[in-house]
Structure 1
Amino acid sequence: MVHHTINTKMQPAPSASSKINSMRQILWRLTWALIVGSLVACGTTRHAPVSDYGRTPPSAARTPADAPRTTGSLAGTPGTPSPQQSYRSRWVAASWSEVPGWQNDQMQDAWNAWLQNCERPGPLFAPLCKDVRQLMLGSDDDRRLWMMGRLQPYRVESLDGASDGLLTSYYEPLFDASAQMRPGFEVPLYAPPEGLAEARRAGRPWFSRQEIDTNPQARDALRGREVAWLADPIDALVLHIQGSGRVRIANPDGTTRIVRLAFAGSNEQPYQSVGRWLLDRGLIRDASWPGIKAWIVSAQQSNPRLVQEMLWSNPRYVFFREETRSAAEADLGPRGAQGVPLTSGRSIAVDKDSIPYGTPVWLASAGPNANLQRLVFAQDTGSAIVGAVRADYFAGTGPEAGDFAGRMKQGLRLWVLWPK
């Protein structure tokens, strides 16, 4: 039984200080309402794009065929539009009421990502950055009100009109490593070899993953280019697939240091999924990364040569460079293709010929792994991220993020939020 106690004590009259505090709160709310009102009022100004699409700004009255196209550059960056056949998306004007979960997103993390976005926003989004910084002190309702005044949502579709796509996820790995080869750490990660740039200029790929392991010419070119040594070739494959990561290196005095390894180039060979290779051979039924790892653990004992064949099935090979950061940036995510640090849960990799870097995007995805309805930013790309309604969701750093990313594969819908 629950007993409810009635408070019979007399309540004291409000003190002078409490009245002052109340007045301060009222004045703050009035001031902030005026700020938001002025920001929304600015939304009546229409910003002309700077030839990124070779078109005038999109508007709600446009037909789908006239919606803007992308060239993969920063949003609004001047340049020659891509040929028509290279476009991979069309944008269809939508109302805010069509954007699922629009009123429910808690946007503080998204606003932190938007501040990162403002490091390299492109000319079309740069005029919004002053308001974005002011709204760091605002509420989510303030932010939503401002966005509705300044941005127009467009549903992203494929060129044949399909609005349903695919969401996967990626993360920043963290592995133990050694600065020198030693027992237990014998798998190298390399900086770009000298011949890589020449091969790129000639338009030809460099040695494949198998050739890097077996060809004397490739091995000679990479000698002395080691940036770290890992314990397991599977960890190296993960870093190659993710494109960047962190390694924990033990110092001689017993301390450890964390080294960021950033993408520095690839051999320009096509990416092939090891999960697809295993499925095609009937070796697994679960192609999530946890399912792949379970097979690897078993096969490393029973058939290590088959594990090696699986590794070689992906000819693409990634090279790294050590990234130095200031103390203030130490905890930020890796830099994506846009050139800004990624934010866990708020950055996505996209097809750069569907959505340009720097664009705010509303993401909606429901499935067995997560239900996501939130504001994100197109800040990265990937060799496997191709198509109009296609995104790779940045999950964060470390094993927990890796477990989430390894299981994520479900349906997706996207809305770009474009300046009016």
Structure 2
Amino acid sequence: MKRGFLALCGAVIVATLAGCASRSLPPPDAAPPASPPQTRPETLPPLTGSLNHPKSRWVPVNWTELPGFGDDALHEAWIALVANCARPNAAFAPLCGEVRQLALADADGQRGWMMQRLQPYRVESLAGQSEGKLTSYFEPIYDATRRPTATNTIAVYQPPAGLAPRRAWYTRQEIDTLPEAQAALRGREIAWMSDPIDVLMLQIQGSGRLRITEPDGSRRVVRLAFAGSNEQPYRSVNQWLLSQGVTRINPWPDATKDWVAQNPQRLPQLLWSNPRYVFFREETMNEVDAAFGPRGAQGVPLTAGRSIAVDRESIPYGTPVWLASTGPVAQLQKLVVAQDTGSAIVGAVRADYFAGTGPDAGRLASRMDQSLRLWALWPRQLAAP
């Protein structure tokens, strides 16, 4: 298994480097020492002064404040850091040459480099609150057909003509009921699915994979990537169910499907409780694509267990982050990278944890709702982001 993992890492790193070669990136720094010195955290005092963002304040701290920093399997996180260097933020870009060269270094070498080159900052709200909430999302996999069938009657759509950012389009209810909305979507169908809750889940997650049966009977797996929304507000279906007196809403979506089976006449009400509607574009996948998740808002592929969605007014895309979360679902103390966002991910100490692809990731994501602390890791040579 270890040889297989290293082979996958090698393929991912080679593919990422190839992708980077086609972009205009800053030249890498000089190569780091072959064996980075093992710096003790207490020998590097924190920089003085907090850094302010529109929705957060970053307070400099010693590395010793980061829970579990000495125990993380950093080689897993390094895949996300290398992917990050395909589209780094301006502060992290000068470090990308060193990051790539350390991709196959041991954990001590990677940890020593982090302590030399990065400064940890505790992320707080502007009011000084350092504890927030962690949820999770995933990339679902569903069966679909290219054309409608007797069972597959619900379309997944490309964006309609005229859809524009920050301009409201029809609500979910209007899309389902107004002839003019339906006319605008005619011919924009990507594929057809059978379960309306699965389609809703696909839209809530913002991406997914479809095992599509083509008209000739052949099957292939494609990725659906986020391509736009109707710019209506997101409303939680779980919260709507709670308002209806439902007490068992997890595991989502199984409990929701059970409720729909018992209340089929109320399915439209449930769906329309969330006016937000998401449109997709179809992407083909090769072997390397399949090893990663979908591209996040930063524009790089997400890494299972190592990518998070954040409020970009609190943490810029491409920022390495130390994450600590304690709860009934998981005990997490690990390095992640801020590479995505979401309409429900708002606030200073708020993150959505990318759990991966498929049913197991979905089960974890559906249950995750627990406390969170975050530390942004910013290049030491910079005074401000």
TM-score by length of 2: 0.86
2:287 is aligned with 1:348: no
Instruction: Summarize the alignment of residues 98-177 of structure 1 with structure 2, pairs less than 5 Å apart.
Output: 98-177=65-144
- The SS at the match of 2:303 is coil
Deviation by residue 1:257-294 (Cα, 9 ceiling, x = unmatched): 00110000000000000001111121x22443x15532
Residues of 1 paired with 2:95 and 2:47: CA distance?
A: 20
Determine the structure 2 residue equivalent to 1:35.
34
- The SS at the match of 1:114 is helix
Residues of 1 paired with 2:217 and 2:157: CA distance?
A: 25
Determine the structure 2 residue equivalent to 1:263.
226
Residues of 2 paired with 1:219 and 1:255: CA distance?
A: 29
Residues of 2 paired with 1:320 and 1:298: CA distance?
A: 28
Gaps of 5+ in 2: 1-30, 40-45, 381-385
Gaps of 5+ in 1: 1-31, 41-58, 71-86
Name the larger-Rg structure. 1
1:296: Cα distance to partner?
2.8
Of 240, 254, 279, the match for 1:293: 254
Residues of 2 paired with 1:328 and 1:384: CA distance?
A: 30
Is the contact made by 1:275 and 1:292 (CA closer than 8 Å) also made in structure 2?
no
2:199 is aligned with 1:236: yes
Is the contact made by 2:154 and 2:195 (CA closer than 8 Å) also made in structure 1?
yes
Of 300, 325, 330, the match for 1:365: 325
Residues of 1 paired with 2:270 and 2:336: CA distance?
A: 34
Residues of 2 paired with 1:389 and 1:293: CA distance?
A: 29
2:57 is aligned with 1:90: yes
Residues of 2 paired with 1:305 and 1:402: CA distance?
A: 27
Residues of 2 paired with 1:384 and 1:407: CA distance?
A: 16
The one-letter code sitting in structure 2 at the alignment partner of 1:153 is P
Deviation by residue 1:205-241 (Cα, 9 ceiling, x = unmatched): 1000000000000000000100011111101100110
Of 332, 356, 371, the match for 2:292: 332
- The SS at the match of 2:269 is helix
The one-letter code sitting in structure 2 at the alignment partner of 1:69 is N
1:304: Cα distance to partner?
1.1
1:115: Cα distance to partner?
0.7
2:363 is aligned with 1:403: yes
1:187: Cα distance to partner?
0.6
Residues of 1 paired with 2:198 and 2:32: CA distance?
A: 52
Is the contact made by 2:67 and 2:324 (CA closer than 8 Å) also made in structure 1?
yes
The one-letter code sitting in structure 1 at the alignment partner of 2:78 is W
Residues of 1 paired with 2:179 and 2:83: CA distance?
A: 44
Instruction: Summarize the alignment of residues 314-329 of structure 1 with structure 2, pairs less than 5 Å apart.
Output: 314-329=274-289
Deviation by residue 1:17-38 (Cα, 9 ceiling, x = unmatched): xxxxxxxxxxxxxxx9942338
Change (3 A) 1:38 1:217: same
Deviation by residue 1:111-134 (Cα, 9 ceiling, x = unmatched): 011110000012211111111111
Deviation by residue 1:154-195 (Cα, 9 ceiling, x = unmatched): 000011101010000000010000001111111101101112
Is the contact made by 2:146 and 2:215 (CA closer than 8 Å) also made in structure 1?
no
Change (3 A) 1:369 1:194: same
Of 139, 161, 176, the match for 1:194: 161
Determine the structure 2 residue equivalent to 1:69.
52
Residues of 1 paired with 2:259 and 2:178: CA distance?
A: 29
2:348 is aligned with 1:388: yes
2:333 is aligned with 1:377: no
- The SS at the match of 1:36 is coil
Is the contact made by 1:332 and 1:343 (CA closer than 8 Å) also made in structure 2?
yes
The one-letter code sitting in structure 2 at the alignment partner of 1:409 is D
Residues of 2 paired with 1:326 and 1:258: CA distance?
A: 10
